[in-house]
């Protein structure tokens, strides 16, 4: 189901959100404002406890939900999406897990290509302070004991502290 009456202004964005940072939040704010409903797809949902994918889909769900509660944003839904490693059917897989959507927000060229080939309309979203608002930079700072907290919405910091996310990341990132 890719649409229908009443769903014309439904949209989708996908990220791994490892973790959900201020750049993601800026995109969500804009997309939620422009859409009747925004589906937030949690990509690579089956992975956790890897250096590049430390947090479970459930933990990432909590980070996003608590942040959007705090922001007073409620026209969204969150859908975990496992990798298929079969790109020819990936868009159909995403669509099968999501409420209908017509627009897709992504700055990732590969993601854009896959959705465009499947006939979806893409919308550009702004890039916010990419040098530091990046999952890779947040994880680097966590391991280096630098200030990672300033890159994240406060509710995300709280979730990470509750689960000892920094300790986990250090334990799974090599070293003895
Ligand atoms: P990682 O470094 O772990 O890959 P990431 O910051 O690239 O993390 P992802 O979880 O890979 O974030 O999510 C990718 C989606 O989020 C893409 O559509 C990307 O364009 C968007 N995004 C990530 N950071 C920003 C940012 N600073 N401003 C705008 N969009 C962003
Ligand atoms: Mg990325």
Name the CA radius of gyration of the chain, rounded.
16
Domains located in the chain, CATH noted: 10-173 (3.40.50.620)
Name the closest-CA residue to atom 13, ligand 1: 15
Nearest listed ligand to the Cα of residue 136 = 1
Name the closest-CA residue to atom 6, ligand 1: 134
- Between CA 83 and CA 26 the distance in angstroms is 25
> Is the CB of 23 within 6 Å of ligand 1?
yes
Nearest listed ligand to the Cα of residue 40 = 1
Of ligand 1's listed atoms, the one at least distance from the Cα of 16 is 10
pLDDT at 1: 47
Label residue 3 by pLDDT band (50, 70, 90): very low
Q: Of 11, 13, 15, which is best to mutate to test ligand 1, by the most ligand atoms within 8 angstroms of its C-beta?
A: 15
Task: Enter the pTM of the model.
Answer: 0.95
Q: What is the mean pLDDT of residues 82-102?
A: 95
Q: What is the mean pLDDT of residues 18-33?
A: 97
Catalogue the E-assigned strands of 10-157: 10-15, 37-42, 76-80, 103-105, 121-123
Q: Is 38 left (phi over 0), alpha (psi -120 to 50) or beta?
A: beta
Label residue 5 by pLDDT band (50, 70, 90): low
Q: What is the mean pLDDT of residues 87-98?
A: 96
> Is the CB of 133 within 6 Å of ligand 1?
yes
Q: In sequence order, which residues have a C-beta less than 8 Å from that of residue 132 and are 6 or more positions away? A: 151
């Amino acid at each position: 189901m890719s649409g229908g009456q009443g769903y014309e202004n439904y949209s989708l964005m996908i990220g791994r959100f490892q973790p959900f940072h201020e750049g993601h939040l800026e995109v969500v704010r804009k997309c939620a404002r422009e859409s009747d409903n925004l589906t937030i797809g949690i990509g690579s949902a089956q992975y956790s406890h890897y250096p590049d994918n430390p947090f479970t889909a459930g933990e990432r769900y909590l980070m996003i939900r608590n942040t959007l509660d705090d922001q007073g944003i409620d026209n969204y839904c969150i859908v975990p999406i496992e990798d298929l490693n079969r790109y020819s059917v990936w868009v159909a897989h995403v669509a099968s897990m999501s409420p209908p959507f017509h627009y897709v927000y992504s700055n990732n060229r590969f993601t854009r290509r896959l959705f465009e080939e499947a006939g979806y309309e893409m919308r550009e979203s702004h890039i916010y302070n990419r040098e530091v608002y990046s999952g890779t930079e947040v994880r680097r700072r966590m391991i280096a004991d630098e200030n990672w907290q300033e890159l994240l919405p406060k509710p995300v910091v709280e979730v990470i502290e509750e689960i000892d996310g920094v300790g986990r990341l250090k334990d799974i990132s090599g070293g003895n």
